[in-house]
């Protein structure tokens, strides 16, 4: 029968061997992900050219002061309403049909141009001129659109009042 082992010799690696192994592992990772690293370097280079990196660096150095300032601004009395209104506007913009909006903005643009031209002449239209204008098909079309808008807005207001009650 053999003798019992009483002492275990541990092989300790030197700090240089550990560094060499770590460096080897890093180089392996770099080699495996060469394309991704090159793309990241291109992005960093473009950020540097656009002088975004110095601004970001300055921001990070003063992050404590910037954070305090941001919190102070957010705690201003009207800021909560501004944030809520901004979110409501974003929801409204998301709900609008772009084709319908394009049609309305096209008409609005032409209306603004006509209104701007009419201010150059500075003519008084009078009641008879107003009655005569209602016979114009373009005016009828615009009045119909405005009346339909007011109907829809009224329905929306009624629905929101029903929900509140």
Q: Is residue 37 domain-resident?
A: no
50: in domain: no
For residue 105, being part of any structural domain is answered with yes
Q: Which pLDDT score is estimated for 35?
A: 95
In a domain, 1, yes or no: no
The reply to whether 45 falls in a domain is: no
In a domain, 140, yes or no: yes
Task: Tell me 9's DSSP state.
Answer: -
Q: What mean pLDDT value characterizes the chain?
A: 88
Between 2 and 86, name the one with better pLDDT: 86
Q: Give the model confidence (pLDDT) of 37-82 as tens digits.
A: 999 999 999 999 999 999 999 989 999 998 899 888 888 888 889 9
Residue 140 predicted with pLDDT over 80: yes
pLDDT tier for residue 165 given thresholds of 50, 70 and 90: low
Q: What is the reported pLDDT for 130?
A: 87
Residue 135, pLDDT > 70, answer: yes
- Does some domain include residue 22? no
Secondary structure of 30-57 as H, E, C letters? HHHCHHHHHHHHHHHHHHHHCCHHHHHH
- 113 is in which domain, residue-wise? 98-164
> How many domains is the chain built from?
1
Inside any domain, residue 67: no
């Amino acid at each position: 029968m053999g003798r019992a082992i009483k002492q275990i010799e541990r092989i300790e690696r030197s700090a240089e061997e550990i560094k060499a192994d770590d460096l080897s592992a890093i180089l392996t990772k770099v080699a495996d992900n060469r394309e991704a690293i090159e793309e990241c370097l291109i992005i960093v280079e473009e950020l540097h050219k656009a002088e975004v990196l110095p601004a970001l660096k300055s921001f990070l150095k003063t992050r404590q002061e910037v954070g305090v300032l941001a919190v102070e601004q957010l705690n201003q009395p009207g800021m909560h309403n501004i944030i809520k209104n901004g979110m409501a506007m974003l929801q409204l913009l998301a709900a609008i049909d772009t084709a319908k909006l394009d049609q309305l903005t096209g008409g609005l643009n032409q209306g603004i141009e006509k209104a701007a031209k009419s201010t150059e002449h500075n003519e008084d239209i009078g009641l008879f001129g107003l009655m005569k204008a209602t016979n114009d098909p373009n005016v009828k079309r615009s009045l119909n659109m405005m009346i339909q808008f007011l109907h829809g807005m009224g329905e929306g207001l009624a629905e929101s009042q029903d929900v509140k009650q």
